[in-house]
Structure 1
Amino acid sequence: MTIHCLDHSALQAAVGHGPDLPEQAARIEARWLPGRGGRPAVLLLALLWGRRCPEVVRFLERSLAALFADYQATPQAWSETQALRQVLAALNQQLFGQRGSGALLPEVSAGVLLLQGDEATFMQVGDCGLLRWREGVLQSLNGRESAPLGVQAELGLIQHSLPLSPGEFLLLAPQPLLAVADLELFSAGCRAATPAGLSALLQPLLVAPGAAGVMRAGSLASVQLPAPVETLPVLATLAAGEHVEGWAVQAPADFGPSGRFWWAEQEGEQAWLWLADRPVDELFRQREWVLRRAPCPGLPLLRPRAEPRRHALQVLRPLPGRVLSLAQWRRENPRPSAAQALALLRPLLTAVRALQRRGVLGLVLDPQLILLNEQGQVCLLPEQAACWPGVPRQNVTPAQLPLAPEVRAGQPLDGRCDQFSLASLCYWLLGGEWPALALGDGSQQARYDPLASAGRQLPNGWDGVLARALAPQARARFDALSEFQQALERPLSDAARLKPQAWPQPWRFALLGALMAQLLLALLVTLI
């Protein structure tokens, strides 16, 4: 049995855990965190209860550490409850993906209690519950057996808002532990409890396996903590052999942003370190959480962290096998076929759609920041875009990379601006040059230069499809990325369907003749 106490003039709390079973355990942690936007400080109690997994304790401890680290890395524009919901949703998404890939994971239930001012917010996922003792009356918010973390793609979250009164008690624990608890003994303990005696309330509960936290409310309205000043340095220089955020730096990658993409290793696991080119700010946080909440095969996967960030960087899960940038691949394949170009474009279309659903528009598609491996996996590193959620519009005007005219001109944007960039990338893949319409120094009177006139072998109609997607006016383009993709795929599927059947080879006729001769001979023998 382990119990820790948090004492404050406005509130007292105690958390602890009891014995662990071979495949079942629970862990709980409580921390004071600064409020946002001038609001009072927050006391955050997080409980994770897992079962049916051999290494459940290690898993729970790492997940709890990651939960607090992720909360502190959320955009400051988010409220405390919004940040907590997003962190739980990201954890659910991560576990769902790992479970889908065959990883052995425990069934994890979560209960999170956020105390701020004179109000408590309780979020429960799965089988964690809350008891509330107030003026001699015990109220129960039961957990649920269904929908633990990572079982379904969408987070099955129930949220409760509770006004707090001085002197009331809140008890957070797994529902099975609450089901066997002596509630009369707990109520009697609440009536007689002293500020220093909260651990005595937990001791009878923690004889059984599980974890619990108890809190005695006061007034938190006056509790203030200094907001963290993130002076996270930009790693302008890095060398092999250094250690950053617990990762051993190995070598610079010859793809990705120049000088800011490194191979690293930790406990036998490989990772990419993506260094920022400026200190951590709201744009950095918003971009990171767009990636966290928009998982798809064409976007990078961020590795979970167990400690708050100390540098302006992100740690990514690498693609397996030999990896090239799209620029390197194009140099090795100077005349790709239309089928190859479309195979590369499909995951990029999926990635751009996922980013657009998160409010990202006007992406800069740099071939050096598009990675692919020998298995055909593609990964887009979205570093620059005109519009990101939660921040003012960004000024992106790279002269040598494609952008829609409305992005360069600072005009209102919709999803068709990214259709223009994707069509420019397809044109570059097939022709080796960017279309004049897409470059900043292009003439306002520039027209589409057909690839077929340059001797490129294209499926019927592709020049027309690309010309429409590269129209200077957004209203002349396809209405959606899906229409653009279908227009590219249709000529290839039609050509495959109408492809004439090859005549059988001569040896097939010889074999057929020999078989027929044997059948005729057998028939004659039977007649004789």
Structure 2
Amino acid sequence: MPSDLTLSLGQHSEAGRKPTNQDFHGALVPERPALALKGAAIAIADGIGSSAVSHVASETAVKSFLTDYYDTPDTWSVKTAARRVIGATNSWLHAETRRNRHLHDPEGGRDRGYVTTFSALILRSRTAHIFHVGDARIARVVGRSLEDLTEDHRVVVSAGESYLGRALGAAPHVEIDHRTVAIERGDVFVLTTDGVHEHVRPDVIVAAIARNGDDLGQAARDIARRAYENGSSDNLTVQIVRIDAVPAGDPSELADRVEDLPPAPLLDPPTDFDGYRVLRTLHASPRSHVYLARDAETGDTVALKVPSTELRADPAALRRLVMEEWVARRVDSPHLLKAPPQTRRRSHLYAVMEYVEGQTLAQWLRDNPEPEPEAVRRIVEQIARGVQALHRREMVHQDLRPQNILIDAAETVRIVDFGSTRVAGLAEEGAAGEPMLGTLQYTAPECLAGHPASPASDIFSVGVIAYQMLTGRLPYGAEAARAFSAARGRRLHYVSVAAARPGLPHYVDAALRKAVHPNPALRYDALSAFVHDLRHPNPSLPGVRRAALLERNPVLFWKLVSLALALTILALLLSRAA
């Protein structure tokens, strides 16, 4: 997936039948890192026709926005930065109007107000931010027509009389409309002034864009010419923006995605939904409902996950649902569930993941109450490889448990359910007030005590799973689920695997004890070391003696025995000869 947002842009502006062009437009697509931090900006303004200086207002509004927006702190959100800049421009224009001694020039009879409409489109990562004041329009191509993304701020007095209800420079303060929409590759946005969209039908605009292919500049000129031919007496300005590639996205956009779409409803299979043929219910819980579905376009079988009725109004739960696909698309491992590529726009909020035929590790444990240690090692090694793939991308799963691990018919292990995954750099508003994520029995004591999850927390969970597979029990019994403080965590008592399943090697018990240590600083630094110690005695661990040479290297042992015997025989022969 591309790492940068890539755009194609076509623009055209002309005076039309007017003596001067009071419209102004501009666009700025910066280089990295500004493109990732601030996005690309496209702006359009239309000065009021009754003012001789409104062209100054429209030019000032666009130029100051394209300059000042990129000078705002990177820590500001797009909404905050754009609103501050637009508000400052409005104040300046209004002050200029009030200072102008020719405000009502009796000689010229012309209004000298610095007043203009203003609309801006900021494309950052996978989100379009729309800021709007006045009656210029921003629309998106949908099929053969246009979807208006702005609402005209025009007050209609009668069939032939109307006036602007909002404009920059008209008052000391201005109300700015703001909305966000998700963007995808192939999206086309169109910005126009009223001299164009009041005289050209949406289907004609879309047809002109399609007819000119990659030449968006020619498409803009054709649309302006059509408005002129249809009798427009105003200035004519058109901007066309096409999304050629979208980046992987930013976790901070998840909240916007939740606001963009309504949660998907509960489905009643068999039924059709959003381009999928929903076949049957796979799983239902208080958190979500999962359905087996077939993509009508590709024919692929997928698992479609929608929020439960109880969580439809919970923004945090909906963000976790969105997070599942977000994570699955960014980590590549045969031991992590994948998400198929998204090929079309969605009407509702839900998650689509690959469908894997198999059973959960929880079911596997019921079918194999006393598995062989080697079978446990093979499963744990695959779990560890999946978790390590997350850790390499600075992600912590946070909810590793047998129910979230799938084993297919080929005995390949996959980790599922990334809704609780913690991503480095993700700043969640109100996170301190959210409930703890994960399942108590498998959650590390430091997380229960309120500390943020870390790779060591996942290592603890993997250790608990391995212990449970070997013994059918938990290493600290029910006490671990009540360790909500550091003091309680220190009082946890580890139960040796030998007490639950005699005969297991002592070095296996020592490895498990280290993996699930209540103190994260005393656990393994990496899962690779843990899975190694499950197979090989580690003499540095308490209770593990250094294995005899016969155990460590039997070939070398017998070679040395043979050498010793040969030397003994040689000594006897020499003795007899003497």
Length-normalised TM-score, structure 2: 0.47
Larger RCO, structures 1/2 (Cα 8 Å, 6+ apart): 1
Q: How does 1:388-399 map to 2 (within 5 A)?
A: 388-389=423-424, 390-392=426-428, 393=431, 395-396=435-436
- Distance across 1 between alignment mates of 2:535 and 2:190: 54
Q: CA deviation at 1:336?
A: 1.1
- Distance across 2 between alignment mates of 1:352 and 1:257: 26
> 2:307 pairs with 265, 271, 276, which one?
276
> Could you say which residue in structure 2 is the equivalent of 1:369?
404
Q: CA deviation at 1:5?
A: 9.2
The amino acid of 1:481's aligned partner reads L
- Distance across 2 between alignment mates of 1:308 and 1:218: 20
> 1:245 pairs with 258, 261, 274, which one?
274
Q: How does 1:247-326 map to 2 (within 5 A)?
A: 247-253=276-282, 260-267=289-296, 268-277=299-308, 278-279=311-312, 281-319=318-356, 322-326=357-361
Figure out how many residues of one structure are paired with residues of the other and give that number.
327
Is the partner of 2:390 in helix, strand or coil? helix
Q: CA deviation at 1:350?
A: 2.0
> Could you say which residue in structure 2 is the equivalent of 1:451?
497
Cα contact 2:322–2:419 (8 A) shared by 1? no
Are residues 466 and 395 of structure 1, via their aligned partners in 2, closer, same or farther at CA, if it must alter by over 3 Å? Answer: same
Deviations for 1:246-279, whole angstroms, at most 9, x for unmatched residues? 2122122259988622211234431111223445
> Could you say which residue in structure 2 is the equivalent of 1:485?
531
- Distance across 1 between alignment mates of 2:459 and 2:339: 26
Q: CA deviation at 1:412?
A: 4.5
Q: CA deviation at 1:474?
A: 0.9
- Distance across 2 between alignment mates of 1:302 and 1:413: 24
Q: How does 1:84-483 map to 2 (within 5 A)?
A: 196=224, 229-235=259-265, 237-253=266-282, 260-267=289-296, 268-277=299-308, 278-279=311-312, 281-319=318-356, 322-361=357-396, 363-385=398-420, 387-389=422-424, 390-392=426-428, 393=431, 395-396=435-436, 400-436=440-476, 439-441=480-482, 444=489, 445-483=491-529
Deviations for 1:159-196, whole angstroms, at most 9, x for unmatched residues? xxxxxxxxxxxx996xxxx9xxxxxxx99x99xx6873
The amino acid of 1:304's aligned partner reads P
Is the partner of 1:310 in helix, strand or coil? coil
Is the partner of 1:253 in helix, strand or coil? strand
Q: CA deviation at 1:463?
A: 0.2
Are residues 381 and 290 of structure 1, via their aligned partners in 2, closer, same or farther at CA, if it must alter by over 3 Å? Answer: same
- Distance across 2 between alignment mates of 1:372 and 1:486: 22
- Distance across 2 between alignment mates of 1:314 and 1:262: 11
- Distance across 2 between alignment mates of 1:249 and 1:457: 49
Deviations for 1:39-74, whole angstroms, at most 9, x for unmatched residues? 431479x9xxxxxxxxxxxxxxxxxx9xxxxxxxxx
Cα contact 2:324–2:419 (8 A) shared by 1? no
Is the partner of 2:509 in helix, strand or coil? helix
Q: CA deviation at 1:351?
A: 2.0
- Distance across 1 between alignment mates of 2:78 and 2:345: 17
Cα contact 2:320–2:419 (8 A) shared by 1? no
Q: Which runs of 5+ in 1 are unaligned?
A: 14-31, 47-64, 66-79, 89-110, 117-170, 179-185, 199-214, 220-226, 501-528
Is the partner of 2:278 in helix, strand or coil? strand
Cα contact 1:341–1:430 (8 A) shared by 2? yes
Cα contact 2:398–2:438 (8 A) shared by 1? no
Is the partner of 2:364 in helix, strand or coil? helix
Q: CA deviation at 1:398?
A: 5.6
Are residues 217 and 311 of structure 1, via their aligned partners in 2, closer, same or farther at CA, if it must alter by over 3 Å? Answer: closer
Cα contact 1:273–1:316 (8 A) shared by 2? yes
Cα contact 2:277–2:294 (8 A) shared by 1? yes
Deviations for 1:315-357, whole angstroms, at most 9, x for unmatched residues? 11122xx411111111111111122112112222122222233
Deviations for 1:203-242, whole angstroms, at most 9, x for unmatched residues? xxxxxxxxxxxx98699xxxxxxx984242243x332212
The amino acid of 1:251's aligned partner reads R
- Distance across 2 between alignment mates of 1:218 and 1:250: 41
Is the partner of 1:461 in helix, strand or coil? helix
Q: Which runs of 5+ in 2 are unaligned?
A: 1-8, 14-22, 28-41, 44-76, 83-119, 127-142, 144-179, 192-211, 227-236, 242-255, 539-546, 556-578
Q: CA deviation at 1:435?
A: 2.0
Is the partner of 2:386 in helix, strand or coil? helix
- Distance across 1 between alignment mates of 2:388 and 2:511: 19
- Distance across 2 between alignment mates of 1:467 and 1:485: 13
- Distance across 1 between alignment mates of 2:222 and 2:343: 35
Are residues 112 and 255 of structure 1, via their aligned partners in 2, closer, same or farther at CA, if it must alter by over 3 Å? Answer: closer
Q: CA deviation at 1:414?
A: 2.9
Is the partner of 1:488 in helix, strand or coil? helix
Cα contact 1:250–1:262 (8 A) shared by 2? yes
- Distance across 2 between alignment mates of 1:250 and 1:6: 47
Is the partner of 2:277 in helix, strand or coil? strand
The amino acid of 1:441's aligned partner reads R
Instruction: Kindly indicate whether residue 79 of structure 2 is the aligned counterpart of residue 37 of structure 1.
Output: yes
Cα contact 2:401–2:461 (8 A) shared by 1? no
RMSD of aligned residue pairs (Cα, Å): 4.9
Is the partner of 1:407 in helix, strand or coil? helix
Cα contact 2:11–2:240 (8 A) shared by 1? no
Are residues 417 and 218 of structure 1, via their aligned partners in 2, closer, same or farther at CA, if it must alter by over 3 Å? Answer: closer
Cα contact 2:516–2:523 (8 A) shared by 1? yes
- Distance across 2 between alignment mates of 1:342 and 1:376: 13
Is the partner of 1:250 in helix, strand or coil? strand
Are residues 397 and 308 of structure 1, via their aligned partners in 2, closer, same or farther at CA, if it must alter by over 3 Å? Answer: closer
Is the partner of 1:363 in helix, strand or coil? coil
Taking only the aligned residue pairs, the percentage that are identical comes to 23
- Distance across 1 between alignment mates of 2:375 and 2:286: 24
